[in-house]
Structure 1
Amino acid sequence: MVRPMELRQLRYFVAVAESGNISRAAQKIFLTQPALSRQIKALEEEIGQCLLERQAHSIRLTPAGEAMLHEARELLARVDGVVERVRTGAAGGRLRIGYAPSLASGLLSPAVANFTQVHPGTRVELQDLSTGEMLAGLEAGELDVIVTIAPRGETRGLTWTPLVRSPWRLAVGLKHPLARQNRVTPAAVAAEPLLIYSQSDYPEYWETVTAWLKEHGLRARVAGEYNGVDSLLAAVESGLGVALVAERIARLFPARTRMKVVSAPPGDLCIAAGCRTDRASDKRLAVFVEELRGAAAGMVDGG
């Protein structure tokens, strides 16, 4: 285990290496030059290697010094990270998360579980919301982070971290004629009554679907708008129409509908974590977003 004195010596060594001059480094860390020189000498004696070539007005790292600088930076970064996480966790507080269940499935649970291990004093609040409600919550400062579809255009004042990309599928009823086809064309989609998420609650979804049909010279025959995946797929199951949904939703409802591959589909949906740009540097928030990224990477690695 590294003793406090050794950590201090490593910090002194990094300061000298980055300054290129012992005198400048001593001024930077508020230490006298002789005292700093003694600390560096003690570190060299501890490891049995010469780290610096001392010249008239500067220093040069030896090969051992170059290796030590790399290792010292990594070790100190890890130590500082541990200290910051412990301090933040001890401070308590809360983390308010907005999410769409169909999109956050497989991401949120492991991320929250890992986050609370690091920050046991933080109260995590989860809110199942529409995209519109999530964006409004961020803007009003009522949410800290959201998990939803990343907007296609620029969103001023928000920072997005991509997590997962999901292709599109066409949801049709079990007895629908399209259920027997391997692949469905855009024209076949446009010919059917289209069930769609509410434009006011899910503007990005609405824009993506309608723009895709327009690119093919087609127009959507919207037969119903819905405020959630359960009501949308219930309508599909009842034979009221068909719906374009993310492939991730197909895994949640394997028996209720048939999910068909669409030819020339819209670009994959990007599921992302969003937060206010003025909060992006918040340490606790950054830890949670990193846990989301880890959960997303685990899903990809695990197939």
Structure 2
Amino acid sequence: MELRHLRYFVAVAAHGSFNRAAEILHITQPPLSRQVRDLEEELGVPLLLRGSNMVKLTEAGELFYEEAREVLARADEAVRRVRGEARQEVLRVGYAPSMIAGIMSAVLARFKSAAPRVRIELADLSSREIIEQAGKGLLDLVVSPGISVTKGIAGFQLTELRKVQPVLVLPGSHPLAKLKRVPVARLRTLPLVGLAKENYPEYVQSVRGLLKPFGISPRFVSLVNDGVSTLFAELVANDAGSILVEGIADIMPRSLVIRQLSPKLPSAPVVIGLPALDPSPHAEMFARILIEEARGS
């Protein structure tokens, strides 16, 4: 359990609103909502009752709120005690976890061994957030679906890192989950859940492009803005499918399954980006290790 999850939850609980908490924390509302949902999933209990403009604590949430405040207070005190000692350098990485699933742990281990004094800040960001934060100079390195940055990122040099295979994600109870491979033709009538344009501007366009050669127009019954945690819940609620990439298996719940499509859809590029001018040596090292792991996997 990460301290930032506790801090986000406490802020939302204290102010009774995701929007107000997001303003205080200087982040956007969708990733804040996503992080709190991740905390609830980790604990296995709902902490908040969500309304249209406000939230209330559940019984479990009230208990956890007091515990979380104490933990954060102790953590803040520890920070105050060590402040003034040699500060660590920070490497800020914005990425989509499913794009580099399976290799990230090896990359982190190698990097920490080579640069133990550098603190890595990993931010799970949507395509839009990656583009915006990189453009503002808030990231030192990015990893993103290639199609999301076809127009480029201001001030960043992009290189193809790897290709990933699109797959179909379904509830384990869905009839199509019984098949080892799902014929692409079955997508003609299958209700789909996807990622909304606001935070994932490339998603719908990409899926339409993948299915167009088969004469299929995807039938989306739900598009979500706050990431894959909500998408996973929507899949179960709608008994639907979703076109994602194979790396999603590392972060999806056990209630869902992955099925390959037949024939396979064209693989999708993943890009890595560094500032075009004067990238930090640590960002260059991290990128080099990431490329080596991706091409060796």
TM-score using structure 2 length: 0.62
Q: Contact between 1:138 and 1:275, CA under 8 Å: does it hold in 2?
A: no
CA deviation after TM superposition for structure 1 residue 191, in Å: 0.9
Q: Secondary structure at the match of 1:114?
A: helix
- Equivalent of residue 155 in structure 1, options 152, 164, 171: 152
Residue 174 and residue 211 in structure 1: after superposition, are their counterparts in 2 closer, same or farther (change >3 A)? same
Whole-angstrom CA distance in 1 between matches of 2:193 and 2:93:
28
- Equivalent of residue 166 in structure 2, options 162, 165, 168: 168
Residue deviations 1:69-94 (CA, integer Å, cap 9, x gap): xxxxxxxxxxxxxxxxxxxxx99632
Q: Contact between 2:99 and 2:164, CA under 8 Å: does it hold in 1?
A: no
Q: Secondary structure at the match of 1:146?
A: strand
Matched residue, 1:276: 275
Whole-angstrom CA distance in 1 between matches of 2:119 and 2:172:
43
Whole-angstrom CA distance in 2 between matches of 1:248 and 1:212:
18
Whole-angstrom CA distance in 1 between matches of 2:257 and 2:123:
29
Matched residue, 2:119: 123
Structure 2 residue 136 is matched with structure 1 residue 136: no
Residue deviations 1:4-29 (CA, integer Å, cap 9, x gap): xxxxxxxxxxxxxxxxxxxxxxxxxx
Whole-angstrom CA distance in 2 between matches of 1:182 and 1:109:
29
Identify unmatched segments of 5+ residues in structure 2: 1-85
Q: Secondary structure at the match of 2:277?
A: helix
- Equivalent of residue 208 in structure 2, options 195, 207, 210: 210
CA deviation after TM superposition for structure 1 residue 213, in Å: 2.4
Q: Secondary structure at the match of 2:139?
A: coil
| Amino-acid identity (%) | 29
CA deviation after TM superposition for structure 1 residue 229, in Å: 2.0
Tell me which amino acid in the other structure corresponds to 1:240: D
Tell me which amino acid in the other structure corresponds to 2:106: P
Whole-angstrom CA distance in 2 between matches of 1:278 and 1:267:
33
CA deviation after TM superposition for structure 1 residue 251, in Å: 4.4
Residue 210 and residue 180 in structure 1: after superposition, are their counterparts in 2 closer, same or farther (change >3 A)? same
CA deviation after TM superposition for structure 1 residue 192, in Å: 1.5
Q: Contact between 1:104 and 1:148, CA under 8 Å: does it hold in 2?
A: no
Matched residue, 2:12: none
Q: Contact between 1:144 and 1:275, CA under 8 Å: does it hold in 2?
A: yes
Matched residue, 2:249: 250
Matched residue, 1:263: 262
Residue 147 and residue 219 in structure 1: after superposition, are their counterparts in 2 closer, same or farther (change >3 A)? same
Residue deviations 1:50-75 (CA, integer Å, cap 9, x gap): xxxxxxxxxxxxxxxxxxxxxxxxxx
Structure 2 residue 101 is matched with structure 1 residue 105: yes
Matched residue, 1:220: 218
Residue 185 and residue 120 in structure 1: after superposition, are their counterparts in 2 closer, same or farther (change >3 A)? same
Tell me which amino acid in the other structure corresponds to 1:274: G
Whole-angstrom CA distance in 2 between matches of 1:230 and 1:187:
27
Tell me which amino acid in the other structure corresponds to 2:206: T
Whole-angstrom CA distance in 2 between matches of 1:249 and 1:290:
23
Tell me which amino acid in the other structure corresponds to 1:187: A
CA deviation after TM superposition for structure 1 residue 291, in Å: 1.4
Task: Choose 171-180 or 101-110, whichever is displaced more.
Answer: 101-110
Whole-angstrom CA distance in 2 between matches of 1:158 and 1:267:
26
Q: Contact between 1:170 and 1:245, CA under 8 Å: does it hold in 2?
A: yes
CA deviation after TM superposition for structure 1 residue 223, in Å: 0.8
| Count of aligned positions | 209
Whole-angstrom CA distance in 1 between matches of 2:254 and 2:112:
34
CA deviation after TM superposition for structure 1 residue 252, in Å: 4.0
Q: Secondary structure at the match of 2:274?
A: strand
Q: Contact between 1:176 and 1:239, CA under 8 Å: does it hold in 2?
A: no
Structure 2 residue 199 is matched with structure 1 residue 197: no
Tell me which amino acid in the other structure corresponds to 1:275: L
Residue deviations 1:245-302 (CA, integer Å, cap 9, x gap): 111213444732232221244321223322232245x43221110111233245x1xx
Residue 181 and residue 96 in structure 1: after superposition, are their counterparts in 2 closer, same or farther (change >3 A)? same
Whole-angstrom CA distance in 1 between matches of 2:248 and 2:212:
24
Whole-angstrom CA distance in 1 between matches of 2:187 and 2:91:
41
CA deviation after TM superposition for structure 1 residue 159, in Å: 2.1
Identify unmatched segments of 5+ residues in structure 1: 1-89
CA deviation after TM superposition for structure 1 residue 154, in Å: 4.9
